[in-house]
Amino acid sequence: MSSATPEFGPPPVDAIDAAALDRLFRTARTPSAWSPAPVAEETIRALYDLVKLGPTSGNCSPGRFVFLTTRDSRERLRPALSAGNVERTMSAAVTVIVAQDPMFFDNLPRLYPAEEARSWFAADHGLAEETAFRNATLQGGYLILAARALGLDAWPMSGFDSLKVDEIFLAGSGWRSNFLVNLGYADGAPATPRGPRLTFDEACMLL
């Protein structure tokens, strides 16, 4: 896909092809309903193998992912869900609890040996919390796009009781839930057109 380097002019561009841009962004949509098709465990493992490669601050990698792959495990989630999110979750192949480990910095001597980074976070609870939330959220964004890259559809949700989710699923781990992503294969096209987006001039400045 790379073009030859021109002698003058823009640098060689090694962009992804139009079909991939469509699948990730341009024609991708949050589904309205799920097909009953299951998601293979190897697809879930392939998904994490992409997600883990996305960049985080100082490779801190605070994102944690709880894959609810059975009807039973999703039934345990039901009391924590907003009413509007129950059916789309119970009918999904997989629900991912995107979480963060507030003690992520204990892995830094291994993940980022170049600096003594562990102590920056161990000494500053607010910085650690913010770093965990920001970077686990980034990793959740990578998960949404990596799922699409693998041919899955993603239905992210933040309508749930995070304290309940932590109590039901994360009590032993110390991890904290951030948002949820239903995964599966969409049943047909979404029922409604895509919502409008802000224009460049509304959302951006060029300085």
C-alpha–C-alpha distance, residues 182 and 170, integer Å: 18
Q: Is 156 helix (H, G, I), strand (E, B) or coil?
A: strand
Q: Residue 16 has which token pair? A: 């992804």
Binds its own copies by CB under 8 A, chosen from 81, 128, 132, 146: 146
Binds its own copies by CB under 8 A, chosen from 80, 85, 140, 165: 140
CB of 42 to its own copies, least distance (A): 10
The one-letter amino acid code at 63 reads: G
92 binds its own copies (CB under 8 A): no
CB of 59 to its own copies, least distance (A): 4
125 binds its own copies (CB under 8 A): no
C-alpha–C-alpha distance, residues 163 and 172, integer Å: 14
34 binds its own copies (CB under 8 A): no
48 binds its own copies (CB under 8 A): yes
25 binds its own copies (CB under 8 A): yes
117 binds its own copies (CB under 8 A): no
> Which residues, in sequence order, are CB contacts of 113 under 8 Å at separation 6+?
none
For residue 154, report the phi and psi dihedrals to the nearest 5 degrees: -125, 140
Residues in region 152-181 near its own copies by CB under 8 A: 154, 156-158, 169, 173, 178-179
C-alpha–C-alpha distance, residues 28 and 144, integer Å: 11
Q: Residue 98 has which token pair? A: 């995107």
| Nearest to its own copies of 81, 146 (CB atom) | 146
103 binds its own copies (CB under 8 A): no
